[in-house]
């Protein structure tokens, strides 16, 4: 199984890893697309006013331009440690055992806007780029990434993909039809029926991935995922269409 996670806008600064090595990232077939976006971000960062406008930065976020300027030279840290925010705080990868972190490295891709899907333990620098940004010199990110990412996932041919991304990142690389997958929506049940959640959406996904990393099940299909969830007391049920699962939580 592979799990696809969204990134986070907020990131931990610093790191002590070697500079970014595109050849060392998961899904190596995306090297050309990654290099093009990195080059565009570095070039944009040379003009602070233009970078601020394109990236929609406030005065308090101008340090992100420096991060982009240093993308090829800055220190790195594992992606799952770089990202912060609700989902990654709930996952809390830093407190997992070594074997559980290795499981994350083998089974989790985090879908970055400048790099596409990367392994959870792939070393990356701090950066600023959102899925909906239009970069000078590069096609709209959806056109730049979608076909190449779908093809790269197909080439990996995982037996099953659990898609926990936001819709904005799904658009940057849909799971190919050739790969069995399920897109997860987080819902709660009340007197009015089921309704989707926002804050609890991210937290619940982070806790789900942590539980998977701690138990390290062998999941090769939607059915085996459901069986694992049932044993753990996690409510994962069929969604409104055949491609979705609902993760049912309490507020």
Q: What is the pLDDT of residue 141?
A: 97
Helices assigned H by DSSP within the chain: 31-45, 48-55, 63-69, 79-82, 86-91, 98-107, 141-156, 167-170, 199-215, 222-232
Residues 6+ apart with CB under 8 A from 167: none
Band of pLDDT at residue 59, cut at 50, 70 and 90: confident
Q: What is the pLDDT of residue 31?
A: 98
Mean residue pLDDT across the chain: 95
The helix-helix angle for 48-55 and 31-45 (nearest 10°) equals 120
Query: Using one digit for the tens of pLDDT, what is the confidence trace for 171-221?
Result: 999 999 999 999 999 998 875 556 666 668 999 999 999 999 999 999 999
Q: What is the pLDDT of residue 178?
A: 97
DSSP 176: P
Q: What is the pLDDT of residue 197?
A: 60
Tell me: pLDDT of 125 over 80.
yes
Query: Using one digit for the tens of pLDDT, what is the confidence trace for 23-39?
Result: 999 999 999 999 999 99
Query: Using one digit for the tens of pLDDT, what is the confidence trace for 132-180?
Result: 999 999 999 999 999 999 999 999 999 999 999 999 999 999 999 999 9
Q: What is the pLDDT of residue 189?
A: 81
């Amino acid at each position: 199984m592979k799990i696809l996670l969204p990134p986070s806008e907020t990131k931990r600064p610093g790191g002590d890893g070697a500079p970014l090595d595109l050849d060392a990232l998961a899904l190596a077939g995306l090297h050309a697309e990654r290099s093009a976006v990195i080059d565009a971000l570095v070039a944009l960062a040379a003009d602070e006013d233009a970078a601020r406008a394109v990236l929609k930065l406030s005065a308090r976020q101008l340090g992100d331009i420096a991060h982009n300027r240093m993308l090829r030279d800055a220190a790195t840290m594992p992606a799952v440690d770089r990202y912060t925010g609700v989902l990654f705080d709930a996952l809390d990868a830093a407190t997992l055992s070594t074997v559980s972190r290795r499981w994350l490295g083998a089974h989790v891709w985090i879908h970055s806007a400048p790099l596409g899907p990367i392994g959870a333990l792939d070393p990356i620098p701090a950066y600023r780029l959102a899925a909906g940004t239009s970069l000078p010199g590069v096609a709209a990110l959806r056109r730049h990434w979608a076909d190449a990412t779908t093809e790269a996932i197909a080439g990996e041919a995982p037996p099953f993909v659990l898609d926990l991304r936001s819709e904005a990142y799904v658009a940057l690389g849909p799971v190919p039809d050739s790969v069995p997958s399920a897109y997860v929506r987080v819902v709660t049940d009340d007197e009015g029926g089921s309704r989707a959640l926002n804050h609890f959406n991210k937290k619940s996904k982070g806790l789900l991935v942590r539980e998977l990393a701690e138990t390290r099940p062998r999941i090769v299909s939607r059915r085996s995922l459901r069986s694992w969830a049932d044993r753990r007391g996690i409510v994962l049920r069929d969604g409104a269409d055949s491609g979705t699962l609902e993760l049912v939580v309490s507020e």
